C-alpha cells in the first residue's frame, strides 16, 4: 500500500477542478462517512476551486470571485479527506509516489522527501492557454481562464476606459482572440459592460477567429449564425477567417496582411495540456493522456485520468473538454477505483457531451444566453438554466 499502513487504501487526486472534485465527492459518497478504509488526498497548487464557466462574467462584474470560488481545505475537511496545497512536479509510477513542491509550512500528508504515496492515483490537472508559438502573444495578452487572470483583465479594461474618459477622446479597441465558447462569451459580456458601465466612452470589441465562422467546434452552422447575429446587434465586430500572425505593441498582424490596432488584447484561442503532463511519460494523443474504456491510463491498473487532461475515445465518440464530461468521468473513475480495490469488474465509461455531438449553454452578455442541444438552438430560459446550474454546483461548498 502506498501509505505504508497495510489495510487502508489511499487515493491521491491531483487537480481540484471539476473532475478532481467529482472523484473525491463520489468516492466519499460511496464509501460513506465512516471512511471504510479509504483515505482520500486532494492536491492542488491553488487554494480555491474556481468555477471556470463563470469567469467571463467577472469582466462585467456580474459575479464576484467569492461567488464563483471555494476554499479547498474546508471542502476536503467536510468530506473527510486531506487537502494538500502544492504543485505536483513529477510522478514515479513504479514506486507510486507523487513529487510535490509547496510553499506552505503546513506539510501534513507529505513525506520528508516531498513525496506523497498512493495506491490509486487520479490525474485531473486540466489544460492551459495555448499561444501556438505566435510571437509575443503570451507576453502581450490578457487571459481569463483563472480568477486572477480575469481580475487583471478587468483592471486593465477599467484603466483603458478611464484614460479614454479623462483624455476626452480616442476609441478603446479591445481585441478578443478566438471565437470558441469563451471568446464568444467574453465578447458578449464586454459589449454589454461597455454599454451599461461606460456609455460615454467610445469603445469597440473585435472578435477574431481563424476559422470561417464563430464557434467552429460546433458541428452545425445554425448556432454560429445565431450567435453572430446577436453579437453584431451588440456592436461586436466579428473578423472570421483571420489568423493572428504576429502580436506587436498595440497592433495585431492578421493573415492577409491586415492590421488591427488594439488597446487591450484578450486571448482565448486554444487549450494545451497542463505543463505537468510534459514531465510524465504516459501514452498520449497530442499531449493529452490516453485512457482505456474504464478511464484508466492506457496500460496502467492503478492510475486514472479524468476531465480535460484525459483523451477518451471509444467506438467513434470522443469526450469533449467541458464541465459535463469532467464530472461524469469523475464519477465513473470513482466507481471504478472502488470496484478495482474490491476486485470487481470495472464499468465502461459512456461519454455524452462529445466532440461529435456537443451541447452547451453559451452566455451572450446582458443576462442572455443560448443553448445548443441535439444540433438545435434554444434561447428560452437558457441564461436562467446556466445560472441555476452554477448556483447548484457552488452550493456543495457552502453547507
State CA 162 to chain mean position distance: 31
188: which 3 cell numbers?
458578449
Cα three-residue angle 96-102-104, rounded to 5 degrees? 130
- For β-strands 288-290 and 284-285, DSSP reports them as antiparallel
d(C-alpha 191, C-alpha 219), whole Å: 26
Out of 326, 335, 337, 364, point to the residue binding ligand FAD (CB under 6 A).
326
**How many Cα atoms within 13 Å fall on the side-chain side of residue 391?**
6
CA dihedral over 163, 166, 167, 170, signed as positive or negative = positive
Closest CB to ligand FAD among residues 197, 217: 217
Out of 82, 90, 298, 324, point to the residue binding ligand FAD (CB under 6 A).
324
* Shortest separation between residue 169's beta carbon and ligand FAD, angstroms: 32
Q: 252 near 265, Cβ under 8 Å?
A: yes
Residues 44-73 that bind ligand FAD (CB under 6 A): 44-46, 52-53, 55-56
Closest CB to ligand FAD among residues 43, 223: 43
312 binds ligand FAD (CB under 6 A): no
Out of 27, 76, 172, 181, point to the residue binding ligand FAD (CB under 6 A).
181
274 binds ligand FAD (CB under 6 A): yes
Out of 9, 25, 115, 145, point to the residue binding ligand FAD (CB under 6 A).
145
76: which 3 cell numbers?
476536503
Residues 84-113 that bind ligand FAD (CB under 6 A): 87-88
- For β-strands 9-14 and 120-123, DSSP reports them as parallel
- Say which residue the cell 479524468 belongs to: 306
Choose the stretch contacting ligand FAD; rule: CB under 6 A; options: 151-159, 198-206, 250-258, 304-312: 304-312
157 binds ligand FAD (CB under 6 A): no
Residue numbers of the site for ligand FAD (CB under 6 A)?
14-20, 43-46, 52-53, 55-56, 87-88, 124-126, 144-145, 181-182, 274, 276, 307-309, 321-324, 326, 360
Amino acid at each position: 500500500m502506498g501509505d505504508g499502513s497495510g489495510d487502508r487504501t489511499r487515493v491521491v487526486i491531483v487537480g481540484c477542478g471539476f473532475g478532481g472534485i467529482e472523484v473525491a465527492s463520489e468516492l466519499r459518497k460511496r464509501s460513506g462517512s465512516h471512511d471504510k478504509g479509504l483515505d482520500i488526498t486532494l492536491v492542488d497548487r491553488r487554494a480555491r476551486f474556481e468555477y471556470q464557466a463563470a469567469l467571463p462574467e467577472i469582466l462585467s462584474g456580474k459575479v464576484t470571485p467569492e461567488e464563483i470560488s471555494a476554499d479547498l481545505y474546508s471542502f476536503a475537511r467536510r468530506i473527510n479527506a486531506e487537502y494538500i496545497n502544492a504543485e505536483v512536479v513529477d510522478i514515479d509510477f513504479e514506486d507510486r509516489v507523487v513529487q510535490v513542491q509547496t510553499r506552505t509550512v503546513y506539510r501534513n500528508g507529505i513525506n520528508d522527501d516531498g513525496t506523497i504515496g498512493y495506491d490509486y492515483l487520479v490525474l485531473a490537472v486540466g489544460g492551459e492557454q495555448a499561444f501556438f508559438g505566435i510571437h509575443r502573444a503570451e507576453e502581450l495578452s490578457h487571459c481569463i481562464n483563472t480568477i486572477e487572470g480575469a481580475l487583471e483583465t478587468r483592471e486593465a479594461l477599467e484603466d483603458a476606459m478611464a484614460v479614454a474618459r479623462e483624455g476626452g477622446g480616442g476609441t478603446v479597441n479591445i481585441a478578443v482572440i478566438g471565437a470558441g465558447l469563451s471568446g464568444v462569451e467574453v465578447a458578449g459580456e464586454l459589449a454589454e459592460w461597455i454599454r451599461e458601465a461606460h456609455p460615454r466612452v467610445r469603445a469597440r470589441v473585435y472578435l477574431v477567429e481563424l476559422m470561417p465562422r464563430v464557434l467552429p467546434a460546433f458541428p452545425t452552422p445554425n448556432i454560429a449564425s445565431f450567435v453572430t447575429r446577436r453579437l453584431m446587434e451588440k456592436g461586436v465586430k466579428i473578423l472570421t477567417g483571420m489568423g493572428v500572425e504576429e502580436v506587436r505593441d498595440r497592433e495585431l498582424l492578421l493573415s492577409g496582411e491586415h492590421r488591427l490596432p488594439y488597446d487591450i488584447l484578450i486571448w482565448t484561442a486554444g487549450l494545451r495540456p497542463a505543463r505537468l503532463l510534459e514531465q510524465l511519460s504516459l501514452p498520449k494523443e497530442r499531449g493529452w493522456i490516453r485512457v482505456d474504456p474504464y478511464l484508466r491510463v492506457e496500460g496502467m491498473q492503478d492510475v486514472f485520468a479524468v476531465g480535460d487532461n484525459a483523451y477518451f475515445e471509444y467506438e467513434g465518440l470522443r469526450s469533449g473538454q467541458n464541465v459535463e464530461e469532467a464530472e461524469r468521468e469523475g464519477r465513473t473513475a470513482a466507481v471504478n477505483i472502488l470496484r478495482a480495490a474490491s476486485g470487481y469488474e470495472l464499468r465502461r465509461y459512456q461519454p455524452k457531451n462529445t466532440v461529435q455531438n456537443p451541447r452547451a449553454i453559451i452566455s451572450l452578455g446582458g443576462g442572455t444566453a443560448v443553448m445548443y442541444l441535439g444540433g438545435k438552438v434554444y434561447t428560452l430560459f437558457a441564461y436562467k438554466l446556466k445560472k441555476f446550474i452554477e448556483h447548484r454546483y457552488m452550493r456543495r461548498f457552502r453547507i
